Amino acid sequence: MFARLFFYVKITPGEEIMNELTEQEKVRREKAEKIRAMGIDPFGHRFERTAYSKDLKEKYADVPHDDFENMEDTATIAGRIMFIRKMGKASFFTVQDKLGSIQIYISINDVGEEVYDLFKSADLGDIVGVYGKIMKTRTGEVTIKCLEYTHLVKALTPLPEKFHGLTDTEERYRRRYVDLIMNEEARNVAFTRPKIIRCIQNFMDGRGFTEVETPVLTTLLTGASARPFVTHHNTQDIDMYLRIALELPLKRLLVGGMEAVYEIGRVFRNEGMDTKHNPEFTLMEAYLAYSDLEGMMDMTEAMFTKIAKEVMGKMTYNWGGNEISLEGPWKRISMVDAIKEQTGIDFSKEMTVDEALKLAEEHHIEVADHEKNVGHIINLFFEKYVEETLIQPTFLYGHPVEISPLTKKNPTDPRFVDRFELFIGGKEFANAYTELNDPIDQLERFEDQLKERDLGNDEANDIDMDFIEALEYGMPPAGGIGYGIDRLVMFFTEQETIREVILFPTMKPRD
């Protein structure tokens, strides 16, 4: 359906161009010229409306039919025609605006013959304005009795068939504008996402955080393990990266004394696409001076609860085939204890690399060259045996130091760090640290990352010497956390693919 993309231009009828159009498209263009001949711009101008469909339907829903006889309430709405039932000298049609749709009754006796003829030229998809009296049909439907009809925009391309919309999923994402017209669920998600983000902002602001912006272009790969997108700065004649994380600039602000900062922004990772990943996505990172891992756990549970109650109005969600409750307190478990629950192997005990490699071989776990240490092998066991089992909200803490180059070591067992990941439905939703603020330790961790890169880890971090210098000025003890906003929205709107919550996801070009 709609395999050919033809975006309208002002057409002077000519055989070559007209032959590319369907019969419906030709007829609509002819109607547009007839409207122009009537002295009306087929593509309209400013229009003042006084109400939205949803508000009118809610306001008058409980008013009895007979009471409208003595009412003179009026309203002016605007929107897209989604249904027409023409019946001689009187007709019904439905107008859809951003909040919903409402039925319109139009009669030649109320608007006159000339305006009624204009209405009869309308097609599904046209945008119109209506002023009229509020009424209710005998079936109880709130309706506007049209007294003034204004043509605003002629739709030159027909909408998809109403009951199926865009059945090609790829086309839904490519032409989100059509999807939003035809798909009520897509519209609800589109409007819910900014409400969730605004709720997060209010939550953070209420806790004394300051929202900031940091650079998208950078010359170093830091803050996450990911492959970058590379671009070129012409004036300086240097290659640069689109940022893969927000972390290090925000921690510089802690050094500067801002103490509680967060950013909600796009990051870019040059990696594969699937139902849970898009190459550009929205990340929120927050850093709080004088806090730690426990503080980030408490803040996270409180934030999710606020979104659930204030935006969504419920605490239980169906996601990924599971019924998930956000009622607290959420489970907190160490990585090694979670692995022991699933496999019986106790990685809290000291072991050599050879012993860990033997366990990996026995459990058919492939270990890359840069992963041949105990910490990476522990993480591989977690990914294979534990991750998908964490359905209800779980704070998974105590990661090996080898996979956490920016995190403070645990004071009682330096093999592990004070880090947690939040898992819901078997998927990661957040990553938090007790932040590493020792510049000497941090430099050693960066150097270890370069060694891993030499062994084949193309996601290893660069050394950011300016950040090391910043730490040497003194960064207060702090807790930090990052949230994948897209996945968070997926959960709250109960969507199974990230493309449903990004208005314009990354797509391959058409063939």
What is the average pLDDT across 354-366?
Answer: 96
Q: What is the mean pLDDT of the chain?
A: 92
Q: Which residues contact 355 (CB under 8 A, 6 or more apart)?
A: none
Rounded CA-CA distance 474/256 in Å is: 9
Measured distance CA(460)–CA(450) in Å, rounded: 7
pLDDT above 80 (res 1) = no
pLDDT at residue 46 tops 80? yes
Which domains are seen in the chain, by residue range? 15-159 (2.40.50.140), 182-330+392-500 (3.30.930.10)
Give the start-end residues of each E strand in 327-467.
Answer: 331-334, 394-397, 419-424, 427-434
Answer whether residue 4 shows pLDDT above 60. no
CA-nearest of 380, 383, 413, 379 to 399 is: 379
- Evaluate if residue 331 carries a pLDDT over 90: yes
Beta strands in 121-255 (DSSP E): 127-136, 142-153, 210-211, 217-218, 230-233, 238-242
So what's the pLDDT on residue 10? Answer: 47
Identify whether the C-beta of residue 304 lies closer than 8 Å to the C-beta of residue 326.
Answer: yes
pLDDT of residue 392 exceeding 50: yes
The pLDDT assigned to 463 comes to 86
Specify the length of the chain in residues: 511
Q: In what order do the strands lie in the sheet with 394-397?
A: 210-211, 260-268, 280-289, 478-484, 427-434, 419-424, 394-397, 331-334
Q: Which residue has the higher pLDDT, 102 or 461?
A: 102
Which residue, among 422, 431, 459, has the nearest Cα to 271 in the 3D structure? 459
Confidence check: pLDDT of 2 > 50: no
Q: Which of 204, 268, 194, 285 is nearest to 493 (CA)?
A: 194
Cβ of 163: how many Cβ atoms within 10 Å? 6
Contact between 324 and 330 (Cβ < 8 Å): no
With beta carbons less than 8 A apart as the criterion, state whether 432 and 480 touch: yes
